[in-house]
Amino acid sequence: MSEQQARRYRVGYALAPKKVQSFIQDSLLNHAKDRGIDLIPVQLTKPLIEQGPFDCIIHKLSGQEWKQQLDDYSLRNPNVPIIDPLEPIDRLHNRISMLQVVNQLNLCQQAESFGIPDQIFVQDFKTLNDPTVLQDLKFPVIAKPLVADGSANSHQMSLVFNKEGLKGLNPPVVLQEFVNHGGVIFKVYVAGDHVTCVKRKSLRDISEEKLGISQNLLSFSQISNLITKDRNDDPSWKLIEEAQLPPVTFINELASALGKALKLHLFNFDVIRDSRIGNRYLIIDINYFPGYAKMPSYETVFTDFLIDIVCRRRSEMETAEMKEEAEGIAS
């Protein structure tokens, strides 16, 4: 029996009850246990520093009090990885700052290009009614709340077809250019070095003719109601089945570069293929600690990620101990 098989690792998870229900499923607990990982719930009513011991902590909580608890715990347990630090997570709670890093990335491959859609931030109604601010805006646009904290309000979006439709918005909002993308969105799940890309239904393309006769504003909740779950009744399912995934090497390199730039291990990003340029991809959203349970074989992927983290940290500690012993003998 190898050391990895013999030794067990305790991974604490600090998650909101709703997240626990969707993510900490029996299939994950059992698979992780079989691989030597025991997932232990962090008691949210008790100080973190009084709990453990842990070999690693994963979390999706926020706030100054929680930050202080993480700081206190790290000060006393500097060798326990905390996935992930709050500061880079907070960047993803703002729809402007979350995408700023994308245009700073440099990839080795040249076959595909990437970027983000044109977008502007509208602070208030005065700005919304200022023609000089919106003069370069090309319709249609997607209006998104500035705050992306996972709440119901942060998911309330609208498709705006013309200037008249802007009157129905409630600033502050981010206005993001709508780009035709074949009605398919690619969701890329990242867990450290493990990357999974899946296809999902998205908004249908909008032709110039349709743009001229469309209503002014359409909320995303209305759009989701128009998309049926019955494959026989919904032609968009055919778009999903026929759509080709982006090249694996491109997505993996993009995911790796994003993770390093964001300083995060657990996130996903939404990508669309620009119908105007077949090999150009646009990142339209980034989320921290997404719904991994929706991902194929998430139990295996996430357990592999946890093993990477705890074993890598143990290896680093053993290397440091050997170095100290060598220096002690030399002196």
pLDDT in tens, 44-82: 999 999 999 999 999 999 999 999 999 999 999 999 999
| Residue in the structure block whose two tokens are 């003719």 | 209
Is residue 60 a contact partner of residue 330, using CB atoms and an 8 Å limit?
no
Query: What is the separation of C-alpha 13 from the centre of its chain, rounded to a whole number of angstroms?
Result: 18
pLDDT digits (tens, 9 = 90+) for 150-165: 777 888 899 999 888 8
Q: Average pLDDT, stretch 229-249? A: 78
Sort residue 244 into left (φ over 0), alpha (ψ -120 to 50) or beta. Answer: beta
pLDDT digits (tens, 9 = 90+) for 205-223: 888 777 766 678 888 754 4
Q: How confident is the model at residue 232 (pLDDT cuts 50, 70, 90)?
A: low
Whole-prediction pTM value?
0.90
Q: How confident is the model at residue 7 (pLDDT cuts 50, 70, 90)?
A: confident
Can you tell me the distance from the alpha carbon of 128 to that of 118, in angstroms, rounded to the nearest whole number?
16
Strand partners, 219: 158
Which 3 state secondary structure label does DSSP give 265?
Answer: coil
**CA nearest neighbour of 97 among 148, 154, 136, 60:** 148
Strand partners, 57: 12, 82
Which pLDDT score is estimated for 1?
42
Taking the CB of residue 291, how many other CB atoms lie within 10 A of it? 14
DSSP 213: H
Q: Is the pLDDT of residue 228 over 60?
A: no
Q: Average pLDDT, stretch 185-195? A: 97
